[in-house]
Each structure stands twice: as C-alpha cells, then as structure tokens.
Amino acid sequence: MPRLASMTDRWGVITGASSGIGAEFARQLAARGMHLVLVARREELMRSLSEELHRLHGTRTEIIAMDLTAENSIQQIASRVEQAGIEIDLLVNSAGFGMVGEILETDSNRIRQMLRLNIEALTALTYHFLPAMIQRNRGGVLNVASLAAFQPVAYMGAYAASKAYVLHFSEALHAELSETGVVVMALCPGVTQTDFFDVAGATGWLQKHSSQTPEEVVRKAIVTMDKGRQYVVPGWRNYLLTCLVRIGTRWRVVNESKRFFRPRRPKKTEK
C-alpha cells in the first residue's frame, strides 16, 4: 500500500474550500506545511481563510473563485494552476451539496447542477491532476463521498447515488494505482457539523442527530490516507451502519431511510 508523501512545501488543490469540511482540510493541511489552491464560489471566505493560514503557518495560497458547474470551469482551473507554475501533489474534492425532499417538490434543474458538481466536476478534476502524479509516482486524491454512498436513501435518492458513484470511482482508482506511489481515497462522513443540511433544505436536521465536527472528520481522513487505505468512515457508529446495510435486505435498508428523511408536514388543525 502506498503512503502519502510528506506534505511540507508541496501544493494541494481543495474544492469546496470556503466552508465546512473543505475549509477544515485547508486548516489541517496548511498546519502540515502544505501550500494550497482554494476553489469555491465565495471569494471573501477564502480570502480570510488564506490570511488565517498565512498568519498561523506561513503557507502560500492561490484563490480561484469559481462555480464548478459552469462551462469550462475545469479548464480554467487547469490553466490557472499551470500559469502559476505549481505542481499539484494532492487534490481534495470536497465541493458538493445534497437535496432532501419529495419528487413533486424537487427542482430538476437543481438536481442536474448537483450531479454536475458531485460527479462531473469531481471526475474531471481527478482525471486532470492524476496523470502528472502517476508520472512522478507521488501524490494523492481524496474524494469526499458520504455515509449515504453505501445504500439508497429515500427522499435523497440522487444525492446518495451520486455519492455511491464517488465511492466506487475512488475505490476503483485506488486499486488501479496500488502499485504506484499515488493514493486515491474516498472519505465517507456521517452527519457532520457544517452548512450541508441547511443547503440541502433540511434545516434543523443536524441538531436532531448525533454528529461529528469537521475537525474530527478531517483528522481521521488525513491519518487514514497516510496509511494508503481506499476509504474511510469516521466514527465507529457510522462504520457499524455500513456493516449493517450489508446484512439487511435491500428493501429493509431503503425503507429504514424513509424514517429519517421523510419531510415533516405541518399537522392539520381541526376547525
């Protein structure tokens, strides 16, 4: 199994770096001396993060404010990195969002945007940065999947399926590259304390369930990637769930998910 090479004075790209898990990756990787290209849409948040990283760790940052679902966004990132003369040793694909809700209330355009981000952009960036890593026999790609990658999830069907793609894609690449110095790993977090559920239209959901901090999730991810593993599920309860879904019948597993994600309707009041 390949181990991730030292990160000091190397460059990484992080998508979804303006908040949540992506921003936490920036903090922990910069603490290990890594210089970073931060990618997301909210430039101001990335600017203040960049100042924080420089002040605390003296590392360098490039900021690319970009909508990853926009036409040519991947080519633009590629040429910005090339112009800067940077060699990328780590790609963290954290940009992503989910959608919770019933089909009749779901905006199909937003579903397409989600698939473009969660699947297409992640795949295109991986295929762009991996070949140079393979040639140097050094580097890593860390794709953020989800606990939802292990099963179909009612009321979140397209999101869970997009994360199943991320997990399978990453595991396949991990196997292909197992005799090289390049590691590809999927991170499969359970409920994590970020803006994710507000963005997904499930405000309040986070507060009702046990969750982990981005700090815990990212620390576990970096340590596990350093061991050369193909995927990681932070938190033993979450890991246990991934084992249980293998034992249960497929009908039982998906039916259970309805209990968690069924949108709450306001109770009818008697007149």
Ligand X SMILES: NC(=O)c1ccc[n+]([C@@H]2O[C@H](COP(=O)([O-])OP(=O)(O)OC[C@H]3O[C@@H](n4cnc5c(N)ncnc54)[C@H](OP(=O)(O)O)[C@@H]3O)[C@@H](O)[C@H]2O)c1
DSSP code for 64: E
Least gap, CB of 115 to ligand X (angstroms): 12
Minimum CB distance to ligand X smaller for 5 or for 68 = 68
Check residue 27 for interaction with ligand X (CB under 6 A). Answer: no
| Gap between the Cα atoms of 88 and 36, Å rounded | 9
Minimum CB distance to ligand X smaller for 68 or for 182 = 68
The active-site residue, picked from 159, 165, 231, 239, is: 159
The residue with tokens 């084992």 is: 243
In this chain, which stretch among 14-22, 53-61, 224-232, 243-251 interacts with ligand X, using CB under 6 A? Answer: 14-22
| Gap between the Cα atoms of 30 and 49, Å rounded | 11
Least gap, CB of 184 to ligand X (angstroms): 16
- Nearest CA to 147 out of 137, 160, 136 is that of 160
35-65 burial code (b ≥16 CB/10 A, e <16): bbbbbbeeeebbeebbeebeeebebbbbbbe
Whether 159 is a known active-site residue: answer yes
Check residue 238 for interaction with ligand X (CB under 6 A). Answer: no
| Gap between the Cα atoms of 223 and 217, Å rounded | 10
In this chain, which stretch among 78-86, 125-133, 191-199, 221-229 interacts with ligand X, using CB under 6 A? Answer: 191-199
Binding track, positions 146-185, relative to ligand X; x by CB under 6 A: x---------------------------------------
Written as one string, the DSSP assignment of 16-63 is STTSHHHHHHHHHHHHTT-EEEEEES-HHHHHHHHHHHHHHH---EEE
Check residue 235 for interaction with ligand X (CB under 6 A). Answer: no
Check residue 12 for interaction with ligand X (CB under 6 A). Answer: no
- Start-end of H helices in 119-195: 122-136, 157-176
Using CB under 6 A, pick the residue from 27, 41, 220, 229 that binds ligand X. Answer: 41
Give the residues lining the site for ligand X (CB under 6 A).
16, 18-22, 40-42, 67-69, 94-98, 117, 144, 146, 189, 191-192, 194-196, 199
What are the catalytic residues?
159
